[in-house]
Amino acid sequence: MQKASIIALKEKAYPNPNVAAILVDENNQIKGMGVHKGPGTDHAEIDLIKKCNIESTDTLYITLEPCFHSDTSPSCAEELLKTDLKNLVIGDIDVDERTNGKSINKLKNEGVEINIEKGINDFINPHYKSQKLNSSYPYIIGKLAISQNNKIYDIDKKLKYISNEDSLKLTHLIRASVDAILIGKNTLITDLPKLNIRYQGLEHIEIKKIVLWGTDSESIEKYASEYKDFIFITDFEDVNSNVVNIKTINKTNIINFLQNNSISSLLVEGGNKTLSFFFENNLINKFYLFKSDKNIMNGIDMNIELSGKLSLNNEYKLNENILEIYT
């Protein structure tokens, strides 16, 4: 399923969900792959069926429940029943009311064994569930790495990365799943980040890069000129075309900015000030907290209040790191 997820992330099928399918034989060797490339194109299952023959000993992995309905593409559930498929693993139930478990029930009734790996589609398409539930708000994810002694930044810069390689890889997969990344002014000035995606096979993905700059008009010229592919959100006018004045930096204006720029999912990678703004305004839907085993002797403490905002949903061990996911 991990490989299918990577394939799904390679395409931007919005407003449809990114979906991929992989077929493996009884020896777990890949026989074929399918991917949905956007509205008007074949769904991942149809794309795969056109490329290879599904046998009863094969297992099909799909990142989202096959569609039950037919529109520009035929019903994927019906098309799969025309094959010899007996083993199916899906990444999530499709919350689209036209499907929403109907395909699973139909396939099971026809003798297909189905396993569900929950959370796959929620990771690949973070906006999808809320979009289908008629939410007009963008889906916003927060992310932060902290040391064992609760530091978020090494003032002496002895430590390039707080988290380990596994955590960094996952961070880049999260970046690949969203429309935009947002950082604060201090993060830009201290880290000089590229905010690109450094994961093999996904480097081509382009996402919007946003800096919540705020009120400081004195140094905006230097950074707006240097980071021409970044969008700077301010509360003042500026001659640079990549500086956007939203008048007042508040919840309503931030949401309007994201909607006006077709951003349905956002990753906030800022520090204490920026993340606190999003938490205090109840804008964070999911929060990834990467906990390192390293200590920072001279650093900045994490100072973000999570209590009463989100609840710990899952905890994973990433070798010597721990990942906590709050929803």
For each of the domains in the chain, give its residue range(s) and CATH number, in order of start. Answer: 2-124 (3.40.140.10), 136-326 (3.40.430.10)
Tell me what pLDDT residue 305 has.
87
Residue 114 has pLDDT above 90, yes or no: yes
Q: What is the pLDDT of residue 71?
A: 79
pLDDT in tens, 115-166: 999 999 999 999 998 888 777 789 999 999 999 999 999 999 888 899 999 9
CA nearest neighbour of 265 among 119, 90, 95, 135? 135
Which residues are CB-contacts of 28 (< 8 A; sequence separation ≥ 6)? none
Q: 202-225: per-residue pLDDT in tens?
A: 999 999 999 999 998 989 999 999
pLDDT digits (tens, 9 = 90+) for 265-274: 999 999 999 9
Per-residue pLDDT, 157: 87
Question: Per-residue pLDDT averaged across 238-255, rounded?
Answer: 95
pLDDT-above-70 percentage for the chain? 100
Give the residue, 131 or 236, on which the prediction is more confident. Answer: 236
Rounded-to-integer distance, Cα 206 and Cα 197, Å: 8
Tell me the C-alpha to C-alpha distance, in Å, between residue 149 and each of 57, 167, 299, 320. 51, 18, 10, 15
C-beta contacts of 96-99 below 8 A and 24+ residues apart: 96/67, 96/132, 97/132, 98/67, 98/68, 98/69, 99/65, 99/66, 99/67, 99/68, 99/69
pTM for this predicted structure: 0.92
Q: What is the pLDDT of residue 106?
A: 97
